Amino acid sequence: MEIELTDIISSVPGNLYNPRVPFRKHETAPLLEERESFLTYKSQLGTSVCTLNFIRATLPHIIEFLQFYERRIVTEVEIRTAATHWGYIAWKRYLISNYPEAAKKKFIRYAIQWMEFLGCLKKKSNTIPFASYLNEYLCWLNEKKGFADSTIKVLRRVLPKLLHYIEELCGEFHLLSPATADVIIKKRHEEGVSRRGMAYFLSTYRTFLKCAESKEWCAKGIYLAFKSPRLFKHEELPSFTTWNTVAAILERKDTDHPTDIRDYAIILLLSVYNLRVSEVSNLRLKDIDWWKKEIQIRHAKNGHPMAYPLIDSVGDTITRYLKEVRNNIV
């Protein structure tokens, strides 16, 4: 069943969007027919109402920041530049520390999808610039250094990104300079690459450019400009939520609203048993032994089931959800 555009309202957090305001923008912004066609296409693919509502609210921003007031060819570079600008504006508007990255990623994703749908996205060439240099380097690693085929395969995926940047920024390989290296590092950072990922990529680039220097493909010492970021011990350990925050969430969700009843049960399972999201979503009624007061969890890491005592508060919350909220009609 197709979803009518008038039904694609709500479900977006109120602190980010007033659902009625973006709907007015949707009706008055340029390219209404093109946007409606894209939303209908996404709904036919099974996109949720919440996501459709977000896309509907985002498309006018894509038009504004891309200056896409009529159909034209758009490049991914334009989209990423516009997304960076929009992420900054969103941060200034909502003062949410992690909003720029989330906003940029969604802006890029839906802008690319919409441009592809309209046939307005300039496709990247499949040809790799300076491919002869890359092939010679990989053959040297394989034949002279004894690198495994699997490692060569990974490098064949990683290094073309650097070569595309060199072609885009310099035109010729021998024109690569330290200033260009700074721009490449900045671009990779703006793409959302983590510090550890940056360390890996830059190490790979340095090794390649050191070989390029020895073969006189580029100026001497260029590889030194690709400095890896400093990595800190335990920096990738996940952060945690304090119990006071969890208690506040539980208190706010302890209402008679059907959605809150469901969410209250989910949050209790996550916090009391320290479960992963997948472990909660995969939980089934057969995993709960009401007579023995046990709950069996199949852990995502090793797949081994483990039985835990069913705490009364958790059991009561699940029972309330099953009786009052869940549709048990078969």
pLDDT of residue 238: 65
Helix (H) or strand (E) holding 307, with range, is strand 305-309
DSSP 8-state code for residue 288:
E
So what's the pLDDT on residue 141? 93
Q: Is the pLDDT of residue 4 over 50?
A: no
Q: Which residue has the tokens 């919350």?
A: 317
> Can you tell me the distance from the alpha carbon of 166 to that of 180, in angstroms, rounded to the nearest whole number?
8
Does position 137 have pLDDT exceeding 90, yes or no? yes
Of 287, 321, 320, 292, the C-alpha closest to 306 is: 287
C-alpha triplet 111, 114, 115: angle, nearest 5°: 85
Q: Are 55 and 110 in contact (CB under 8 A)?
A: yes
Weakest mean pLDDT among 268-272, 289-293, 302-306: 302-306
Give the pLDDT confidence of 180-220 residue by residue, as tens digits.
999 999 988 877 787 888 899 999 999 999 999 999 999 99
Model pTM above 0.75:
no
pLDDT at 118 over 60: yes
Separation in Å, CA 162 to CA 135, 146, 186, 227: 14, 23, 12, 15
In contact, 100 and 87? CB cutoff 8 Å: yes
First to last CA, the chain: 21
Enumerate domains of the chain plus CATH numbers. Answer: 5-118 (no CATH), 131-225 (1.10.150), 243-324 (1.10.443.10)
The pLDDT of residue 53: 85
How buried is 165 (Cβ within 10 angstroms: 0-12 exposed, 13-18 middle, 19+ buried)?
A: buried
Q: What is the tens place of the pLDDT at every residue in 254-267?
A: 888 888 888 899 99
Q: Using CA atoms, how far apart are residues 188 and 225, in angstroms rounded to an integer? A: 15
What's the confidence (pLDDT) of residue 201? Answer: 92
H/E run at residue 297: strand 294-298
**293-309 average pLDDT score:** 83
pLDDT at residue 19 greater than cutoff 50: no
Which range among 99-113, 233-247, 261-275 has the greatest average pLDDT? 261-275
If you average pLDDT over every residue of the chain, what do you get?
82
Greater model confidence, 166 or 99: 166
Beta-bridge partners for 295: 288, 308
pLDDT band for position 328 (cuts 50, 70, 90):
low
Q: Quote the pLDDT of residue 1.
A: 39
Q: Is the pLDDT reported for residue 274 higher than 50?
A: yes
pLDDT at 125: 64
Q: Where is pLDDT greater, at 26 or 267?
A: 267
